[in-house]
């Protein structure tokens, strides 16, 4: 794997899918999502749970046979402390819980423990409790820490953050042996794991960022699993009889964004013209194989609440007419920001070409994530090709919260986690509809409300246009058994094993 984005092992501070895949094998959460059916929530540290009739309270009943790697027994105090820690540190993983209304000021009242085996979570504001449970299962942020061990490593009230950057205090199937940044991470089987010991005695993660190196090592059999490979190299391995390609569709969306702080794109006719100056079908057919599949809705595909694609296609004549109506018969000059990585850059080049056909002359500006998305977070951009949308939880609100929702469009609001705010796209009625759908208790009516949200979003001609839904390709040697990549990046390794004849001396 590429470890460039692996900056910390602290669950409260982690960012990026790479660290999530490690954390969920060192720690356990209360619940987890079935990788084959995401809406199936499976027990973990909580053996069962209930939702109160008024949808305001969740009660979790903990297992009584769990010990941490230190030997300390799990109790509800560890769960409460772990949740408090996320809110008090207020690092990357606090954002979702803050959006649900939790704060460091109210967490002690909202999350309580009547006894050593029970945790009660009261929702601070109306919500769909299913979404909250999905977040507990999918994000990896609310894993349970051994509070006694972490407290013993606190420095100046840091809640153990410095120590947990390179250490762990979990109850998961593996324990951390060593992590050397941008080099190697090793974990070994934990003794007395409550589910039964992991099938593999050791897992080694190596930092390899050159795709061709990964390709050669997979061909030679030096690696079992390779992620983050360039798609041309993945394609080259498709016919290797010893290898398999696991393509996992994720909820993240590739998009073209426009800033409504720019007078051009504040005009609905200009946004509509841009809508018809993107060759969605051509981009997905020629550039996105292995990266994504055609998708034009803000809610991720394959959900009951997702409408069929509206079927937008490149239509230069229609776009030119709209630009003329908007007062730009000769087009205009602008900039198009994009990461200097694939497939982003190729998408941007393709869009630049079709925009030019309509008279919009877009200069491509490339850069790193901080340079490109930083400009978007500061609302200082014109056009931008990006990828986002959460979609981690199997719930329509997960996508809408990230891509559409914008409760306060003021610059001072700094709602940088909301990409609707980043683009300056604001519609009070749409926000209200999203709020209402989230708390609707009749599932049939809720689905219809999500349909209505998508129709209104489409009619308003949004400043963020979905192009493709992300596909993540992982190359796996056939000697690896029971490896199931998880759409939420929480890939569990506890049941993975290798065929005996590939191990030293032929021993299993």
What three-state secondary structure class fits 480? strand
What three-state secondary structure class fits 176? strand
Assigned CATH topology for domain 174-247+473-506: D-Maltodextrin-Binding Protein; domain 2 (3.40.190)
Q: Any bridge partners for residue 441, and if so which?
A: none
What is the predicted pLDDT for the residue at 506?
Answer: 41
Tokens of 112: 């309580």
Backbone φ, ψ for residue 99 (5° rounding): -65, -25
Contacts of 163 (CB under 8 A, 6+ apart): 150, 153, 154, 155
Query: Cα-Cα-Cα-Cα dihedral of 348, 349, 351, 353, to 10°?
Result: 160
Backbone φ, ψ for residue 192 (5° rounding): 60, 35
Q: Tell me the pairing of strands 383-388 and 332-339.
A: parallel
Domain boundaries defined on the chain: 17-164, 174-247+473-506, 249-470
Q: Any bridge partners for residue 270, and if so which?
A: none
Q: Any bridge partners for residue 187, and if so which?
A: 176, 203
Distance of CA 182 to the CA centre of its chain: 22
Q: Which CATH architecture has domain 249-470?
A: Roll (3.10)
Tens digits of pLDDT across the chain (508 residues): 888 878 899 999 887 778 889 999 999 999 999 998 888 999 999 999 999 999 999 999 999 999 999 999 999 999 999 999 999 998 878 888 988 999 999 999 999 999 999 999 999 999 999 999 999 998 777 899 999 999 999 999 999 999 999 999 999 999 999 999 999 999 999 999 999 999 999 999 999 989 999 999 999 999 999 988 888 899 899 999 999 999 888 889 999 999 999 999 999 999 999 999 999 999 999 999 889 999 999 999 989 999 999 999 999 999 999 999 999 999 999 999 999 888 999 999 999 999 999 999 999 999 887 789 899 999 999 999 999 887 778 999 999 999 999 999 999 998 887 899 999 999 999 999 999 999 999 999 999 999 999 999 999 999 999 999 999 889 999 999 999 998 888 899 999 999 975 444 444 4
Same CATH topology for 174-247+473-506 and 249-470: the answer is: no
What is the predicted pLDDT for the residue at 505?
Answer: 42
What is the predicted pLDDT for the residue at 341?
Answer: 85
What is the predicted pLDDT for the residue at 508?
Answer: 41
Q: Please say whether the beta carbons of 132 and 83 come within 8 A.
A: no
Contacts of 58 (CB under 8 A, 6+ apart): 49, 50, 51, 52, 120, 121, 123, 129, 132, 133
Residue 380 CA to residue 423 CA, distance in Å, equals: 9
Query: What burial letters (b/e) apply to 87-123, b meaning 16+ CB within 10 Å?
Result: bbbebbbbebbebeebeeeebeebbebeeebebbbeb
Residue 378 CA to residue 261 CA, distance in Å, equals: 11
How does DSSP assign 272-307, residue by residue?
HHHHTT--HHHHHHHT-TTTEEE--SSSPSSSTTPP
What is the predicted pLDDT for the residue at 501?
Answer: 58
What is the predicted pLDDT for the residue at 504?
Answer: 45
What is the predicted pLDDT for the residue at 174?
Answer: 98
Cα-based distances in Å from 369 to 151, 339, 344, 385, 469: 34, 6, 11, 12, 19
Q: Please say whether the beta carbons of 398 and 134 come within 8 A.
A: yes
Contacts of 504 (CB under 8 A, 6+ apart): none
CATH class for the domain made up of 17-164: alpha beta
């Amino acid at each position: 794997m590429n470890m460039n984005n692996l900056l910390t092992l602290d669950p409260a501070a982690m960012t990026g899918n790479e660290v999530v895949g490690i954390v969920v094998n060192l720690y356990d959460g209360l619940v987890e999502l079935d990788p084959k059916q995401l809406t199936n929530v499976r027990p973990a540290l909580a053996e069962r749970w209930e939702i109160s009739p008024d949808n305001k309270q969740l009660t979790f009943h903990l297992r009584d046979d769990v010990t941490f790697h230190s030997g300390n027994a799990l109790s509800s105090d560890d769960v409460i402390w772990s949740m408090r820690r996320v809110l008090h540190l207020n690092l990357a993983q606090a954002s979702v819980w803050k959006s649900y209304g939790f704060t460091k000021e109210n967490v002690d009242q909202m999350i309580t423990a009547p006894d050593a085996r029970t945790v009660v979570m009261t929702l601070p504001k109306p919500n769909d409790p299913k979404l909250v449970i999905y977040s507990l299962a999918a994000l990896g942020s609310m894993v349970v820490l051994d509070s006694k061990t972490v407290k013993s490593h606190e420095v100046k009230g840091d809640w153990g953050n410095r120590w947990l950057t390179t250490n762990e205090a979990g109850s998961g199937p593996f324990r951390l042996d060593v992590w050397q940044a941008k080099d190697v991470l090793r974990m070994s089987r934990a003794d007395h794991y409550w589910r039964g010991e992991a099938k593999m005695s050791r897992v080694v993660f190596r930092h390899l960022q050159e795709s061709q190196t990964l390709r050669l090592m997979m061909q030679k059999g030096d690696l079992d699993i390779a992620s983050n490979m360039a798609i041309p190299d993945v394609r080259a391995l498709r016919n290797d009889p010893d290898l398999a390609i696991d393509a996992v569709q994720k909820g993240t969306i590739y998009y073209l964004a426009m800033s409504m702080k720019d007078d051009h794109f504040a005009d609905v006719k200009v946004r509509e013209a841009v809508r018809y100056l993107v060759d969605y079908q051509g981009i997905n057919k020629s550039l996105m194989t292995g990266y994504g599949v055609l998708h034009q809705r803000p809610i991720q595909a394959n959900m009951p609440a997702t409408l069929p694609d509206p079927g937008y296609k490149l239509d230069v004549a229609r776009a030119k007419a709209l630009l003329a109506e908007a007062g730009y018969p000769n087009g205009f000059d602008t900039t198009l920001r994009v990461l200097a990585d694939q497939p982003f850059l190729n998408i941007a080049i393709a869009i630049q070409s079709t925009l030019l056909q309509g008279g919009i002359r877009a200069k491509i500006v490339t850069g790193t994530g901080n340079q490109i998305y930083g400009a978007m977070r500061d609302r200082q951009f014109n056009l931008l090709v990006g990828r986002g949308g959460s979609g981690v939880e199997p719930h329509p609100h997960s996508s809408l919260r990230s891509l559409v929702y914008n409760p306060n469009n003021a610059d001072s609001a700094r709602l940088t986690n909301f990409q609707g705010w980043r683009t300056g796209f604001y519609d009070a009625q749409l926000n209200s509809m999203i709020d209402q759908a989230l708390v609707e208790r009749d599932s049939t009516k809720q689905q219809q409300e999500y349909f209505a949200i998508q129709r209104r979003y489409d009619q308003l001609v949004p400043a963020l246009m979905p192009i493709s839904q992300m596909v993540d390709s992982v190359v796996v040697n056939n000697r690896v058994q029971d490896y199931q990549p998880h759409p939420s990046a929480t890939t569990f390794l506890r049941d993975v094993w290798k065929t005996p004849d590939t191990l030293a001396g032929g021993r299993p």
